[in-house]
Amino acid sequence: MKTRLLSFLLLCCLAFPVRAQSYQPTEENLKARQEFRDKKFGIFLHWGLYAMLATGEWTMTNNNLNYKEYAKLAGGFYPSKFDAAKWVAAIKASGAKYICFTTRHHEGFSMFDTKYSDYNIVDATPFKRDVLKELADECHKQGIGLHLYYSHIDWYREDAVWGRTGRGTGRPNPKGNWDSYYAFMNNQLTELLTNYGLIGAIWFDGVWDQDENPDFDWELDEQYALIHKLQPSCLVANNHHITPFPGEDIQIFERDLPGENTAGLSGQDVSSLPLETCQTMNGMWGYKITDQNYKSTRELIQYLVSAAVKDANLLMNIGPQPDGELPEVAVQRLAEMGEWMKTYGETIYGTRGGCVGPHPWGGTTQKGDKLYVHILNLQDKALFLPLADRKVKKARYFVDGTPVKFQKNNEGYTLLLNAVPTDVDTVIELELD
């Protein structure tokens, strides 16, 4: 018995390195997690040199573009219409509470002023402006959170170790130089967390690039510790498509709501961390000139509601144009979502996934004794809610307070609606005991 216990303990030590297990989020960090959950809606911005090629952010590797040729794009990057105040205002109007900006995507170009590489928007372009600084100042001024996307992979740098992607960009050394690349990333992260005010989250992407090399050590513990040391409230997020690692503060899902896996990137279990789903507004993250296939405002609102019902935030993406403007259709969608949020925001912000889970008709969000029933898709006037162990005191249409009749039986309550719901989201507010 004793030996079995000993070998079990030994196994635990081997399986879980001490440092990884020792992550204890600080009070500030725990508070930031709750505030993050309250925000519910953010806008992702994918912007880099790839905007100029207008075929999405993976063009460099998809077309095996030579890294030295690709870098020449920088000499022509002059987004003359870039206006951070205009971006932030358009995004704020949607009701989004934070922006996540790509500081450096897989192409390797830094969209901020960095001492650690000249391949950045200030030193390598005629534009010479630190767009991140302008954006950060404007976010802080207009009172909206700022999160920073940071790629773990780099298809340009010679010291970046090759993974599954970026092999055809002409870099000479597949082995790279990990120590040099790791120091570079940490130096840049230090700049990002020092020069741009309060940062809500660092949003990593690219760990999946070494999926054929599972022993690859990204040295994340130390990197995460650096982030938490520089800004204790900064949330660490990593879009690695697997179960969260110690040191991470939120769990991300790409192109799917938690627990769903239509895109094939989200087979992982849903953890107890705050959740975020990122999704594209058309079909691509970076600007793609031929992709006008934007989701309708109805679809976008319903996706946001479906995320909230699943207790997740929605991070909805826009790919700004090479001229520095947000695509017109995207701005229009933002405005229309904002109109809806003006009325219904109360049933989204600050809520948690409600006690009646997701159903094909929709689901619920909850705040205190209020349960908001979000009906997205129902061809019926009656709606059964499995609320056997709760007492419903009142039910009313959220939009105008019209009372809703209901019946109780042993399994729960049935709402008796005035008509078959046709709105984007028919919200019934229940007062629970």
Nearer to ligand H79, 289 or 399 (CB): 289
Q: Which of 390, 386, 415, 383 is nearest to 402 (CA)?
A: 415
Q: How many residues bind ligand H79 (CB under 6 A)?
A: 12
Contacts with 383 (C-beta within 8 Å, 6 or more apart), sequence order: 361, 373, 375, 414, 415, 417
235: nearest Cα among 202, 188, 283: 202
Question: Residue-wise over 389-402: b if at least 16 C-beta within 10 A, else e?
Answer: ebebeebebbeeee
Q: Answer for the pair 317, 279: CB distance below 8 angstroms, yes or no.
A: yes
Q: Does 268 bind ligand H79 (CB under 6 A)?
A: no
Instruction: Give the residue among 321, 264, 241, 310 at the shortest CA–CA distance from 287.
Output: 321
Q: Given CA atoms 267, 250, 351, 299 in this order, what sign does their dihedral have?
A: negative
DSSP 406: E
* Per CB under 6 A, 408 contacts ligand H79: no
Q: CB of 218: closest distance to ligand H79 in angstroms?
A: 15
- Among positions 230, 265, 270, 289, the unique one binding ligand H79 when judged by CB under 6 A: 265
Nearer to ligand H79, 59 or 125 (CB): 59
Q: Note whether 291 binds ligand H79 by CB under 6 A.
A: no
Interaction of residue 254 with ligand H79, rule CB under 6 A: yes
* Exposed / middle / buried, residue 7 (Cβ in 10 Å: 0-12, 13-18, 19+): exposed
Task: Give residues 200-229 in contact with ligand H79 (rule: CB under 6 A).
Answer: 205, 208, 211
Extract the tokens encoding 304: 């946001």
Q: What does residue 77 show for φ and ψ, rounded to 5 degrees?
A: -85, 105
* Contacting residues for 119 by C-beta, under 8 A, at least 6 apart: 71, 74, 108, 109, 110, 156
58 vs 162, which CB is nearer to ligand H79?
58
Q: Which is nearer to ligand H79, 54 or 230 (CB)?
A: 54
**Strand, helix or coil for residue 18:** helix
Q: Rounded to the nearest whole angstrom, what is the least distance from the CB of residue 263 to ligand H79 in the complex?
A: 8
Q: Closest separation between CB of residue 96 and ligand H79, Å?
A: 17
**Locus of tokens 């296939």:** 293
Residue 280 CB, shortest distance to ligand H79, in Å, is 9
The residue among 294 and 344 lying less far from ligand H79, judged by its C-beta, is 294
Cβ 137 vs Cβ 131: under 8 Å? no
Our CB check for ligand H79 shows the closer of 176 and 206 to be: 206
CB-based contacts of 93, cutoff 8 Å, min separation 6: 334, 335, 338
Nearer Cβ to ligand H79 (104/374): 104
Q: How far is the CB of 256 from ligand H79 (least distance, A)?
A: 12
Q: Closer to ligand H79 at the Cβ: 7 or 290?
A: 290
- Considering the complex, state which of residue 211 and residue 299 has its C-beta at the smaller distance from ligand H79: 211
Q: Binding mask 165-204 vs ligand H79 (x if CB under 6 A, - otherwise)?
A: x---------------------------------------
Smallest separation (angstroms) from ligand H79 to the CB of 105: 6
The footprint of ligand H79 on residues 25-64 (CB under 6 A) is 57-58
User: In the complex with ligand H79, which residue's Cβ is closer, 205 or 249?
Assistant: 205
Exactly one of 72, 81, 164, 405 binds ligand H79 (CB under 6 A); that residue is 164
Taking the C-alpha atoms of residue 433 and residue 431, their distance in angstroms, rounded to an integer, is 7
Least distance from ligand H79 to the Cβ atom of residue 166, Å: 10
How many Å apart are CA 152 and CA 58, to the nearest integer?
15
- 278 contributes a contact to ligand H79 by CB under 6 A: yes
Q: Which of 36, 218, 253, 285 binds ligand H79 (CB under 6 A)?
A: 285
CB of residue 253 vs ligand H79: minimum separation in angstroms? 11
Check the CA dihedral 342-347-351-352 and report its sign: negative
Site of interaction with ligand H79 (CB under 6 A) = 57-58, 164-165, 205, 208, 211, 239, 254, 265, 278, 285
